[in-house]
Structure 1
Amino acid sequence: MNSECNLAQALAAAQTLGLDRLDAQLLLLHVLGKAGADRAWLLAHDGDLLPDELAQQYRQLSLRRAAGEPLAYIVGSKEFFGMTLQVDARVLVPRPDTETLVEWALQQLASKDMPASARVLDLGTGSGAIALALKKTRPDLDVTAVDASAEALAVARANSGKHGLPIHFILGNWFENVSGHFNLIVSNPPYVASIDSHLAALRHEPLEALTAGEDGLNDLRRIIEQAPAHLHPQGWLLLEHGYHQAQAVCGLLSQRGLADVQSRADLAGIARCSGGRWPGEPAGDGQTADNQALISGF
């Protein structure tokens, strides 16, 4: 890429580095200061010259993408459930699969058994994607988001402020520092086995947010074991998990005493989420006082 490079030539050069056409287009739009939805503009202006400074910037970003760095980290944002969320290497990139969990949660929250101002807990919130999607769709919800990483919470808090969606944030590992009871608990926890060969392709993302023991179920086990102590009677626990883990997760839910255990499939037809209803009184002492460890909303 040089000062005589036009947009079509720049895109072709990026593809020779190994980028697919969509990534090449989105990176070029980012360099040009345009939205990702402006791909048609590129086609209409493919003969426009790309200034040398921007051409060099585009090449550097293309090399980063060719080395496997997620596109979202390079451009600093990711679309999720109709929102543009800030993301960087402090958090996982929100996946479209997780929208399945959000949609299921909204279905449960719309049931006649749920109060209008239901209390929702999002465990391992990361960028805040799930919590913010629920709050955006249902502003009447009382949403609390937890993460063990202060850096991840900083990202989630920034997204909360950007979208004007007040969320309570707690710094803690799963239910640590959480008190009171909730009508719905949702989580997209780490579920990749520590020996999984696919981890090499995810080397740019935070490992602690990906892996959970040799079978990938360690964090799911812990959440399922502890969740009843924080659920109102008839409250739901909904969990995202790996493509092959539905049977194991449903077994853990049933063993813990949850009822109506079931799974939901993503757009590819893969059972991606499982959950169940807590039928009885909260397990354990389940303090009802408001949590004193809440970090300011936004």
Structure 2
Amino acid sequence: MIETIHQTLKRLEARLATEELDVNAAFLLLEHVTQKSRASLLADLREPLTEQQLRQFEDLSSELLTGKPIQHIIGQEWFYGRPFSVSKDVLIPRPETEELVQGAMQRASKLFGNKSIRVADIGTGSGAIAVTFQLECPNAQVTATDISEAALAVARRNAEQNDSQVTLVQGDLAQPLQNEKWDIVLSNPPYIGLDEASSMSPTVLDYEPHGALFADENGLVLYRKLAETLPAIMKKPALIGLEIGYLQASSVQRLFQNAFPKSKIELVQDMNGKDRMIFCEIR
């Protein structure tokens, strides 16, 4: 008996649910295998897959059921309406980070208008923040840093495939930025404490780079280092935007209030109502 796309989809969704994995991955996998948009796929739910598509779907389904992220299987994730390549060397971009970019752009518009500005993204990973900011704000000259050469290779690919002019530099945190002054610095650094690993999903823990997830000092060490090094390289006015762990707000606020005593520190919650971003406006 020939199975329709709808039946194939439901079969995988049921297996994913049994394994307590993300059922939404089934639809993403079908989009990848059929090379159809979501709208086209929904219109064709009563059609069968071709033999070749079905073979590919079954092979990739087996990988998905091991807990491997769908983004690693299909090789990409969408961020701010654009496709970004991902691999085991970079963190998969999250929707919360889109909110960091959006919040930074809104504040940049108020602070700088249409003036040419210098922007740095520290710990760029896939390049999602840097590439998106440069494309959305063409008046921004954007530099992205990462300590990982493998991550920078992914970011370079993403800049090229999205036609973005971003300068990529290898180095630890703000170290490669020391010879310039910056209008905006953004960062989504590793911020998970090592003791939190046991409570994390295997899909994250087993497949995403630990260097992009975990940090010492209960996840705060990189915020402390940024608070120590950024005062010397920020212009006035300037903006710092950071993604944080939802329990770190008071600690990170304190670090940056001490580093920039006259700044306006703003805590912003994400779409789920969790403390997720800190913006430091330096006047």
TM-score, normalised via structure 2 length? 0.90
- CA shift at 1:103, angstroms? 1.4
Query: Match of 1:57, as an amino acid?
Result: Q
Q: Distance in 2 between matches of 1:112 and 1:236?
A: 8
Q: Matches of 2:239 and 2:158 in 1, distance apart?
A: 26
- Label 1:32 to 1:143 Cα distance change in 2 as closer, same or farther (>3 A): same
Residue 158 (structure 2) aligns with: 159
Partner Cα separation in structure 2 for residue 100 and residue 224 of structure 1: 22
> Is residue 261 of structure 1 aligned with residue 265 of structure 2?
yes
Provide Cα deviations, 1:189-248, integer angstroms capped at 9, x if missing partner: 000011103444312100000000151111111111111111012212111011111111
How much does 1:254 deviate? 1.1
Gaps of at least 5 residues in structure 1 are: 280-298
Q: 1:255: Cα distance to partner?
A: 1.7
Structure 1 pair 115/9, CA: closer, same or farther in 2 (3 Å)? Answer: closer
Instruction: Tell me the number of residue pairs that the alignment of Structure 1 and Structure 2 aligns.
Output: 274
Instruction: Give, in whole Å, the separation in 2 of the partners of 1:28 and 1:135.
Output: 32
- Counterpart of 1:275 in structure 2 is 279
Contact 2:126 2:154 in 1 (8 A): yes
Q: Which has the higher helix share?
A: 2
Q: Which secondary structure does the structure 1 equivalent of 2:237 belong to?
A: strand
Distance in 1 between the 2:85 and 2:156 partners? 10
Q: Are residue 67 (structure 1) and residue 66 (structure 2) matched?
A: yes
Segment of structure 1 superposing worse, 197-206 or 95-104: 197-206
Which residue of structure 2 lines up, in the alignment, with residue 238 of structure 1? 241
CA-CA distance at 1:61 after TM superposition: 1.6
Tell me, in whole angstroms, the C-alpha distance in 2 between the residues paired with 1:214 and 1:243: 16
CA deviation digits over 1:141-164, x for unaligned, max 9? 111000111111111111111111
TM-score (norm 1): 0.86
Tell me, yes or no, if the aligned pair for 1:5 and 1:55 is still in contact at 8 Å: no
**What are the residue-to-residue correspondences of 1:284-295 with 2, within 5 Å?**
none
Which one of 23, 48, 61 corresponds to residue 25 of structure 2?
23
Residue type at the aligned position of 2:253: C
Kindly indicate whether the alpha-carbon contact (under 8 Å) linking 1:126 and 1:147 is maintained by their aligned counterparts in 2.
Answer: yes
Contact 2:125 2:155 in 1 (8 A): yes
- 1:54 Cα deviation from its structure 2 partner: 2.0
> 1:170 and 2:169 equivalent?
yes
The DSSP-based 3-state class of the residue aligned with 2:164 is coil
8 A Cα contact 2:123 2:187, kept in partner: yes
One-letter amino acid of the structure 1 residue matched with residue 210 of structure 2: L
Could you tell me which amino acid in structure 2 is paired with residue 269 of structure 1? G
For 1:260, the aligned partner's letter is K
Report the Cα offset of residue 114 of structure 1: 6.0
- Determine the C-alpha separation between the residues in 2 that align with 1:184 and 1:85: 23
Are 1:205 and 2:203 matched, yes or no? Answer: no
Task: Provide the rounded CA distance (Å) in 2 between the counterparts of 1:112 and 1:213.
Answer: 34
Deviation at 1:4, TM superposition (A): 3.3
Q: RMSD value over aligned CA atoms?
A: 1.8
Cα offset, 1:113, TM superposition: 4.7
Match of 1:8 in 2: 6
SS of the equivalent of 1:177 reads helix
Q: Deviations over 1:125-151 (max 9, x none)?
A: 011111111111111111100011111
In structure 2, the residue matched to 1:282 is none
